[in-house]
Amino acid sequence: MELNADFTQRVVMHGDEIEWLSSPMAGVDRRMLDRIGDEVARATSIVRYAPGSSFSPHIHTGGEEFVVLEGVFQDEHGDFPAGSYIRNPPESRHTPASEPGCTILVKLWQFDPDDRTHVRIDTNKIGAVADAGRPGVSVTPLFLDPREDVRIEQWEPNTEIMIGADGGAEYFVLSGGFAEGGDTLRANSWLRLPDGMMVSARTGAEGARVWVKTGNLRYAEAPATL
């Protein structure tokens, strides 16, 4: 399967307009944003766990990165409420579940194969720092290495936002919204920009809280197992 597999193209997807599709595990559904492959896939998805649902134990050969959007995600490493950011690197293993139910933004098979860094951050417990170079923007750092920069940005109301996309960029709206390139993005909207394209956005009266990843698309490819 290929969905939004041309990484030279700008893509906008609105999560609330995408059909939920069943996964191989009962009670776990997904909205696909981009994908190369079938069940083993380089993928970006919104995944919903019904209350009491779970996956069988498995190894993430290509790594897994996710943000908890609603509810509480659970595995043997802990309970992760909305606002949690998790990186399970290649060859890590877990048994995901959610007794109360949850919704997460998930990225699979997008790691450096040699990465072994686990990250577990509850962003509810850390603050944001004003970006001195961009008025109206505050940043909560999540992860940084030579391949990518991952963070949450808070954009104040009625603010012009300019960001370069060296190596490509992705923006997922956690709350609020903004206009960019003729599109109006809202909560659960996802914007992907190719290498070199500049974001020129403007927030509305609510401002916006946005999960941002930059630099990663220069490494975009299908899993080696495909």
18-122: CATH, from 2.60.120.10, 3.30.530.20, 3.50.50.60, 1.10.10.60: 2.60.120.10
Position 164 confidence tier, pLDDT thresholds 50, 70, 90: confident
pLDDT tens-digit series, residues 108-148? 999 999 999 999 999 999 999 999 999 999 999 999 999 99
What's the CA angle centered on 83, arms 11 and 135, to 5 degrees? 65
16-28 mean pLDDT = 94
Residue pair 33/211 in contact (Cβ under 8 Å)? The answer is: no
Question: Ranked by mean pLDDT, which of 94-98, 184-188, 193-197 comes out on top?
Answer: 184-188
Higher per-residue pLDDT: 112 or 17: 17
Tokens 């190719």 label which residue?
194
Domain boundaries, the chain: 18-122, 127-219
Look at residue 72 in the predicted model and tell me its pLDDT.
98
What torsion, rounded to 10 degrees, do the Cα atoms 56, 59, 64, 70 define? 20
The residue ranking higher by pLDDT, 144 or 38, is 144
Say if residue 90's pLDDT is above 90: yes
Is the pLDDT reported for residue 30 higher than 60? yes
Q: What is the DSSP string of 4-21?
A: S--TTS-EEEEGGGSPPE
Mean pLDDT of the 173-181 span: 97
What CATH number is given for 127-219 in this structure?
Answer: 2.60.120.10
Does the pLDDT value for residue 3 go beyond 80?
yes
Model confidence, pTM: 0.95
